[in-house]
Amino acid sequence: MIQSLRKSETLRKIREGFRDEPYLILNAVFTGIIVLVFAYSAIFSPDTNNYPVACIHEKITGEPCFSCGLSHSFSLLLRLRFDEADSWNPYGFRVFLFFVSQIIMRIVFSVLWTKHEETRQQLIILDSAGSLMIFLISFWPFIESILTSVF
């Protein structure tokens, strides 16, 4: 009974927080965008190759870029076809895990934000540092390719 009251109190705080707190709104927007990416990957099938968004770089240059095949890779990962996903884009799994970790982090940090008002600044710093670290690990091959092509 007490635990049920705590959960409803937490949900009430989250609902109220959305009206006043940009941090919670931003987390909700990021989560929504990631869910849309996953929905896109689930709806469009790698078997029928019916993806509506094509790689602009490949269309212009005729050469694939590092992100080519990510849609196929994500679709295959959602269908648990890991080897095929890797053949479409070897970095797909890393990027996919980045998005999964971000959904988890958005939810966890939003709940912590509402429960621990006294540590909100520290939560933002931890969230930012953790997200940056996960981003760099996940996207390092892309960053490295850009840096080597520029320098």
- Residue 124 counted as domain residue: yes
Residue 128 belongs to a domain: yes
pLDDT per residue over 92-103, tens digit each?
999 999 999 999
State the pLDDT at residue 11: 67
Res 77 pLDDT > 80: yes
**pLDDT higher than threshold 90 for residue 59:** no
Please report whether residue 59 resides in a domain. Answer: yes
What is the span of the domain harbouring residue 51? 33-150
Does 23 map to a domain? no
Residue 65 in domain: yes
Does residue 28 fall inside a structural domain?
no
Q: Of 49-53, 107-111, 134-138, which gets the smallest average pLDDT?
A: 49-53
Residue 85 lies in a domain: yes
Q: How far is CA 80 from the centre of its chain?
A: 18
Average pLDDT across the chain, whole number:
85
The answer to whether residue 6 is domain-embedded is no
Contacts of 34 (CB under 8 A, 6+ apart): 99, 102, 103, 106
Query: Tell me: the pLDDT tens digits for 20-33?
Result: 788 999 999 999 99
Distance of CA 146 to the CA centre of its chain: 21
Q: Domain count of the chain?
A: 1
With b for 16 or more beta-carbon neighbours within 10 A and e for fewer, the 56-80 pattern comes to: eeeeeeeeeebbbbbbbbbbbbeee
pTM score, whole prediction: 0.77
On the question of pLDDT at 81 being above 60, the answer is yes
